[in-house]
Structure 1
Amino acid sequence: MLCATKEGTFSYLKKFGNYSKDFYRFNGELFFPSLGIGTYKAEPYKEDNYIINYAEAIKIALRRGINMIDTAINYRYQMSEREIAEALNEMFQEGEIKREEVIIASKAGFIPLDFPFPENPYGWIQENILNVELATKDEIVIDQHCMAPEYLRWSCEQSLRNLELETIDIFYLHNPETQLGYVDQETFYVRIEAAFKMFEELRGEGKIVSYGIAAWNGFLYEADHTEYIALSKVVEIARRVGGKDHGFKYIQSPFNLAKPHAYGYANQQTEDGMFYPLMHACASYGITYIGSSPLLQKNLFKRAFAPEVAELMNTNELSDIASALQFARSAGGICAVFGAVDPAHVIDNAVLCYLPEASAKSVNTLMKGAYAV
């Protein structure tokens, strides 16, 4: 199957020998850039979703050493995935990159609809999901989220069609905590188990390499919160479903200056019975942590950062955006995924490729007292 490989991602990073030696990280299977590019666009009903195109930004990222591309089937009604295919196909044909050099992640869970936005979205769900028995009505939560196994299979296969690929490297269950509050905890974990069984089937068919969970707050809440997800329970499910060689290998969650809980808030229990922050818990279970939303969808920049931030991050000559990205990629996750549709923004962010990550001491100084924000 055509997918990212250790040899391919290593070959790719060797093209960028003038970058900081710690820009790329190895998780035992693939070499990741410490910055990845994402294709999420907030406010999907806005008209600009009909005129923007991520293809150029993706090409610039790949030319600048950023070979981790993150997307989801529901981003802009499947258009983000299709624009990634547009960029990749052009570069494959020109011989600029090879498939095994690029890490592609997508997600399933939210109902994507299709582009252009259908006149009757409920009719789309009825026709495309319910009538063809991909899920039952009670498996769809608030008309937008579904973890039914056959729906997840369809979603994966549709993503492969959109991306024009044979295999997705990382396939996430997308914000499963959306269902908590509508279903009880027991039902929730039963649905997680059914989803993981399907993901293991998809692995066996070569349609995905590994899988994970991309959550927003689920792994970051306190343990008694309605939407809390216990990593220990999820790992137990993966081991039960897939054995010791299960494919549950990735967690993605927000990590940024305003939402640093994954690094500093001890809310996840590990096998020693103690509670640790999510990044530490992931490491103890052999799961790779990937940070999302390093700029908090630009909400970090309502006022200028204090000068101390740039001093600690060694970004004195750069922007607050660079300082925020430097923080997000320096705390222990293998990669921080930023969104960018403008190629110029990708070029600006790629300046960090030359800069060593911030020290643990600097991160801890900036974090002091902040994790409960």
Structure 2
Amino acid sequence: MSRATKEGTFGYLKKFGNYSKDFYRFNGELFFPSLGIGTYKAEPYKEDNYIINYAEAIKTALRRGINFIDTAINYRYQMSEREIAEALNVMFAEKEITREEVIIASKAGFIPLDFPFPDNPYGWIQENILDAGLASKEEIVIDQHCMSPAYLRWSCEQSLRNLEIETIDIFFLHNPETQLGYVDQETFYERIEAAFTLFEELRSEGKIVSYGIAAWNGFLYESDHIEYVSLGKVVEIAQRIGGKNHGFKYIQSPFNLAKPHAYGYANQQSSDGMFYPLMHVCAHYGLTYIGSSPLLQKNLFKRAFAPNVAELMNTGDLSDIASALQFARSAGGICAIFGAVDPAHVIDNAVLAYLPEASPKAVNTLMKGAYAV
């Protein structure tokens, strides 16, 4: 089997019987850890991106019960995907893990360029995207984002090559709201429809299992904001394209102590005409919610947390990072994704696997201090 399976992910979690019983969650198809590992690195043009390597952190995560790996083709000019392959190939060869045990998600939408950073990035786009017939100039927004079906197909197939796997378990359309403000709403949803049509083709070809949208603010804004994305409209598109058995199964967006809108801000309209928070509407439509940026790219830690945060999160003498991760994984999403290059940081974060998640009452208490509903 060339993809994650229910049986494989269940077999994996049984290796960690000393963990808290709620560390793993089941969405009807796969067993997810409530903490996943991501491979995003901000400011990828910086020199340290040429010397870091995620492979050891990935191997450490898999050895510590974290079998959800999140990446994107544009992370570090395709290097993050290639380093995941480096880690997986070693562990597969040594029979430490099987492909069926690992959930792999990647994303398409941003133009990735390639490592090392090209001397002329615009020349790279011209040669590899425009001249190759993957998109027209009009389909590329601000020289960085594209949702043309030909480009998205190329992106998926290139990710498969980078990851050295046959099938991606979750394939996200990456921050599509980037295009809003440059194209009108009608054009935007037409492009979503074309993308989903392609994704259903990729499913039928066995190149992806399921798909979703990974957005930054698109699902979290006010409904009249220029970059607002309506989840209801997106679901209608998926149902129209793929029928009852469509592959649109996942939403990813930021969720953390400073940005808890997905849990507490009623801005998405459900089928009853009422507005609810994103997590609620995801559950209504049968979508699995995955939280990103639980540490807000370290911006949560400009000053120490109040003492009651650790008390509410049951994180005792652990770090503020542990408290933030505990909050992010306790509010209703199936998984919260943290980024880590240093294996020691993965080990520190995996300590949370021994703790029960925080109670709804504790989460709601912190919510009142973080964001007024």
What TM-score comes out, normalization by structure 1 length? 0.99
Q: Is residue 2:334 matched to residue 1:334?
A: yes
1:224-303 alignment runs, 5 A limit: 224-303=224-303
Partner SS state of residue 353, structure 2? helix
Instruction: Give the CA deviation at 1:94.
Output: 0.1
Superimposed CA distance per residue, residues 164-220 of structure 1 (whole angstroms, 9 cap, x where no aligned partner): 000000000000000000000110000000000000000000000000000000000
Look up the equivalent residue of 1:97 and give its one-letter code: I
Aligned to 1:219: 219
Look up the equivalent residue of 1:68 and give its one-letter code: F
Distance in 2, Cα, partners of 1:43 & 1:347: 25
Contact 1:261 1:372 in 2 (8 A): no
Aligned to 2:136: 136
Distance in 2, Cα, partners of 1:106 & 1:308: 36
1:1-373 alignment runs, 5 A limit: 2-368=2-368, 370-372=370-372
Superimposed CA distance per residue, residues 26-53 of structure 1 (whole angstroms, 9 cap, x where no aligned partner): 0000000000000000011100000000
Look up the equivalent residue of 1:251 and give its one-letter code: I
Instruction: Give the CA deviation at 1:127.
Output: 0.3
Instruction: Give the CA deviation at 1:370.
Output: 3.0
Partner SS state of residue 150, structure 2? helix
Look up the equivalent residue of 1:356 and give its one-letter code: P
Instruction: Give the CA deviation at 1:371.
Output: 2.9
> Where do 5+ consecutive residues of structure 2 fail to align?
none
Look up the equivalent residue of 1:3 and give its one-letter code: R
Partner SS state of residue 337, structure 1? strand
Distance in 2, Cα, partners of 1:315 & 1:269: 35
Partner SS state of residue 330, structure 1? coil
Instruction: Give the CA deviation at 1:59.
Output: 0.1
Distance in 1, Cα, partners of 2:234 & 2:359: 32
Distance in 1, Cα, partners of 2:180 & 2:308: 39
Distance in 2, Cα, partners of 1:93 & 1:276: 47
Instruction: Give the CA deviation at 1:82.
Output: 0.1
What TM-score comes out, normalization by structure 2 length? 0.99
Distance in 2, Cα, partners of 1:372 & 1:293: 20
Superimposed CA distance per residue, residues 222-253 of structure 1 (whole angstroms, 9 cap, x where no aligned partner): 10000000000000000000000000000000
Distance in 1, Cα, partners of 2:178 & 2:87: 32
Distance in 2, Cα, partners of 1:253 & 1:372: 19
Instruction: Give the CA deviation at 1:369.
Output: 5.3
Distance in 2, Cα, partners of 1:304 & 1:99: 40
Look up the equivalent residue of 1:50 and give its one-letter code: Y
Distance in 2, Cα, partners of 1:372 & 1:165: 44
Superimposed CA distance per residue, residues 28-81 of structure 1 (whole angstroms, 9 cap, x where no aligned partner): 000000000000000111000000000000000000000000000000000000
Shift in CA distance, 88/139, structure 1 to aligned 2, threshold 3 Å: same
Contact 1:215 1:253 in 2 (8 A): yes
Instruction: Give the CA deviation at 1:368.
Output: 1.3
Distance in 1, Cα, partners of 2:29 & 2:226: 35
> Where do 5+ consecutive residues of structure 1 fail to align?
none
Look up the equivalent residue of 1:70 and give its one-letter code: D
CA RMSD of aligned residues (A): 0.8
Partner SS state of residue 370, structure 2? coil
Distance in 1, Cα, partners of 2:287 & 2:223: 20
Partner SS state of residue 259, structure 2? coil
Aligned residue pairs total 373
